Structure 1
Amino acid sequence: MSSDDAQQGQAPQSGADQAGAAGEERTVRVVLVDDHRMFRTGVQAEIGVTERTRVEVVGEAADVDQAVTVITATRPEVVLLDVHLPGGGGVEVLRRSATMMADPERPVRFLALSVSDAAEDVIGVIRGGARGYVTKTITGTDLVNAIFRVADGDAVFSPRLAGFVLDAFASTDAPPVDEALDCLTQREREVLRLIARGYAYKEVGKQLFISVKTVESHVSAVLRKLQLSNRSELTRWAAARRLV
């Protein structure tokens, strides 16, 4: 990802430079949420040298429950959030953090940091309340810049990902909200997509780190909510919405 992914035409400037320009040594407190420990370690090494970057990593989490617990305990200014997490995904973290995001005094803001550049992932977390979305190819300098901008309330996207969001909300071909899809939880959507792609229940369980019995329960809930009768109807429903 090039430097304009996070800056969009602005000259690169580090977090420390931004703080200096404001006449103070400002530090932004950050929580890292990603289910890959080695990736979290790498990000910590890249951006967590506070005296240089003015970013202080105050917590880490590997799944949805851990994320909500750590975010609630530390109340960071910015959360770097992976989209695909055990326990319901990044959207579930956003849903459970809605009160903290809406806090007028100390809002917690979210910046999605993911390997995925799929339009549905980008749109999903933005609709959930994230202030931006960058992919894991971003440089350390640009990530620090993005963190400071999100902490200030700005929206940060790479140009191509910003296009997804604009297209989604400007499109006249379909409504911006699919009420049927929105009635499903994030985990139910994940199960739906995998089942519609032909995965067996055991394979779905392995992918999502849940039991076969839990998969069966989610499938039953999806069929009931969507008023579908069987797996074939579910697959056709998902294909019609380009979810597979």
Structure 2
Amino acid sequence: MTSPVRVVVVDDHAMFRRGVIAELEAAGAGEVEVLAQAADVDEAVTAVAAHRPDVVLLDVHLPGGGGVEVMRRGQSPETRYLALSVSDAAEDVIGTIRGGARGYVTKTITGPELVSAIRRVADGDAVFSPRLAGFVLDAFAGSIEVAAVDEDLDRLTEREREVMRLIARGYAYKEVAKELFISIKTVETHMSSVLRKLQLSSRHELSRWASDRRLL
């Protein structure tokens, strides 16, 4: 019988972390062992250094610099990273893989599927949700201009990216504020900063910019 895969779960939402751990314990009994959990970049890096897990189950958007920062600071030869995110945007998928993740799955995944993905990543496979695999293939084929996308997005903070994506999808400021648990005034401030950094003049231009880069 093979040893259980040793896992650290990283997500900034405590309820979601507990839910994931419960799913892994139920669906992966004997296959997965959760060593620790973390809510931000610093906690995640500390947990990786302390436990040297086989797999880190990693959210993409985290306080302190995001999942890519965890991978940059939390490098160890025996540890592989599997992104588990609500986002299925091309720049998140490609940026996370470029940052060092061995796979990327969305939070619609079932418990048994997640256990299987963790096991496969631990064994050295690359694992993607079906639609997301297409983004990676397109990037390597040159259909997505990865460098250009990254250069533009690097100008934006994590929060500005979240606001940008929702506004580009047609959300009203009030809806963005409710979705991100911030004030309407803060949304307006972020939106002004996004338009200035991207050298755009309107929501319509932002939507077209995001659509051209497959960020919606």
TM-score band by shorter chain is 0.7 to 0.9
User: What is the aligned-residue identity percentage?
Assistant: 61
1:241 corresponds to 2:213: yes
Would the alpha carbon gap of residues 226 and 207 (structure 1) be closer, same or farther in structure 2, given more than 3 Å must change? same
1:195 corresponds to 2:129: no
- 2:139 corresponds to which letter in structure 1? A
Would the alpha carbon gap of residues 217 and 157 (structure 1) be closer, same or farther in structure 2, given more than 3 Å must change? same
1:60 maps to which of 26, 37, 47: 37
Unaligned runs of 5+ in 1: 1-16, 20-24
- Alpha-carbon distance in 1 for matches of 2:203, 2:26: 50
The equivalent residue for 1:69 is 42
Post-superposition offset of 1:169: 1.9
* SS state at 2:178 partner: helix
- 1:73 corresponds to which letter in structure 2? T
For normalisation by structure 2, the TM-score amounts to 0.74
For normalisation by structure 1, the TM-score amounts to 0.67
Would the alpha carbon gap of residues 73 and 99 (structure 1) be closer, same or farther in structure 2, given more than 3 Å must change? same
- Alpha-carbon distance in 1 for matches of 2:202, 2:108: 40
The equivalent residue for 1:29 is 7
The equivalent residue for 2:181 is 209
The equivalent residue for 1:10 is none
The question of whether the paired residues in 1 share the 8 Å contact of 2:45 and 2:74 is answered with: no
Would the alpha carbon gap of residues 67 and 225 (structure 1) be closer, same or farther in structure 2, given more than 3 Å must change? same
The question of whether the paired residues in 1 share the 8 Å contact of 2:37 and 2:47 is answered with: no
1:156 corresponds to 2:158: no
Q: How do 1:43-192 and structure 2 match up within 5 A?
A: 43-48=20-25, 52-61=29-38, 66-75=39-48, 76-83=53-60, 87=63, 92-104=65-77, 107=79, 109-114=80-85, 117=88, 119-136=90-107, 138-171=109-142, 173-178=143-148, 179-192=151-164
The question of whether the paired residues in 2 share the 8 Å contact of 1:27 and 1:54 is answered with: yes
* SS state at 2:35 partner: strand
- Alpha-carbon distance in 2 for matches of 1:59, 1:188: 30
Would the alpha carbon gap of residues 133 and 237 (structure 1) be closer, same or farther in structure 2, given more than 3 Å must change? closer
- Alpha-carbon distance in 2 for matches of 1:233, 1:161: 26
- Alpha-carbon distance in 2 for matches of 1:51, 1:189: 34
Post-superposition offset of 1:170: 0.8
- Alpha-carbon distance in 2 for matches of 1:207, 1:184: 19
Q: Deviations over 1:30-71 (max 9, x none)?
A: 22426371x54343233237994242223335xxxx232331
The question of whether the paired residues in 2 share the 8 Å contact of 1:33 and 1:79 is answered with: no
- Alpha-carbon distance in 2 for matches of 1:131, 1:103: 14
* SS state at 1:110 partner: strand
- Alpha-carbon distance in 2 for matches of 1:225, 1:210: 21
